[in-house]
Amino acid sequence: MFMFLLVILLVSVLCPITSLADEGTKKWEFPTGGSVFSSPAVGPDGTIYVGSDDEKLYAINPDGTQKWVFTEIGNKVSSSPAIGADGTIYVGSNDGKLYAIEPDGTRKWVSTELGEALSSPVINSRGTIYVGSDDEKVHAIKADGTPKGGEWPCKTGGKVSFSPAISSSGVIYVGSDDGKLYAIKSNGKEKWQSDDLGDKISSSPAI
């Protein structure tokens, strides 16, 4: 656990990634080639992964030096990466595709187009990746990059811009721009939807 690292994203043009020590002094700064609007993900070895509006995913060592940069992304990266149990990094792009990247920075696979801009992905215990999209759907992608069958993708009544949450029983919960919270079974079938909560849901649920 790299608890000594507090990574704060300063959103600006040519936004740098900044690391602060416990006492609040700056440890290092890493410039990207575009604005950063997402939170970083930190691997078990302390590597920091963050996407940028320059259409790249950066891997940064704990000392602030560049480990690698993945450049094969077709549009801005506005969502946060997720890290699988095997170290694979998953990140969505505004080109509507989900990218799987090996820990060494090479491409593992790229999904088919899943709509438009994607939410940050979440991963269940079996390695299935769930991601929301501006196409008003929640998509399920298997660990090999192919779409999961059954009732997937699950349609909601509005854009899904924020990450789903997964319960211990495997139920997926997600908010939509239609102002409703959806519960989705692992086969993609809707379990229930809430009443209208008054406005579009602009956050991820917590369980």
Q: Within this chain, do residues 106 and 181 fall inside the same structural domain, yes or no?
A: no
Tell me how far apart the alpha carbons of residues 124 and 151 are, in angstroms, rounded to a whole number.
Answer: 17
Q: Within this chain, do residues 64 and 85 fall inside the same structural domain, yes or no?
A: yes
Q: Within this chain, do residues 99 and 121 fall inside the same structural domain, yes or no?
A: no
Expressed as residue numbers, the domain containing 123 is 117-202
In a domain, 127, yes or no: yes
In a domain, 168, yes or no: yes
Tens of pLDDT, residue by residue over 19-36, are 666 777 888 999 999 999
Tens of pLDDT, residue by residue over 159-174, are 999 999 999 999 999 9
Q: Within this chain, do residues 93 and 133 fall inside the same structural domain, yes or no?
A: no
Q: Within this chain, do residues 136 and 122 fall inside the same structural domain, yes or no?
A: yes
What does pTM read for this prediction? 0.88
Total domains in the fold of the chain: 2
* 27, 39 contact by CB (below 8 A): no
* Domain boundary, last residue among 60, 82, 113: 113
Residue 1 has pLDDT above 50, yes or no: no
Q: Which helix (H) or strand (E) holds 69?
A: strand 66-70
Tens of pLDDT, residue by residue over 113-139, are 998 788 999 999 999 999 999 999 999
pLDDT for position 22: 72
Residue 194 has pLDDT above 70, yes or no: yes
120 alpha-carbon distance from chain centroid: 2
Could you tell me how many residues make up the chain?
Answer: 207
In a domain, 134, yes or no: yes
The CATH number given to whatever domain includes residue 172 is 2.40.10.480
The CATH number given to whatever domain includes residue 89 is 2.40.128.630
Peptide bond between residue 103 and the one before it cis (omega within 30 degrees of 0): no
Least confidently predicted of 8-12, 19-23, 80-84, 184-188: 8-12
pLDDT for position 20: 63
Q: Within this chain, do residues 43 and 107 fall inside the same structural domain, yes or no?
A: yes
Tell me how far apart the alpha carbons of residues 170 and 116 are, in angstroms, rounded to a whole number.
Answer: 26
Residue 11 has pLDDT above 60, yes or no: no
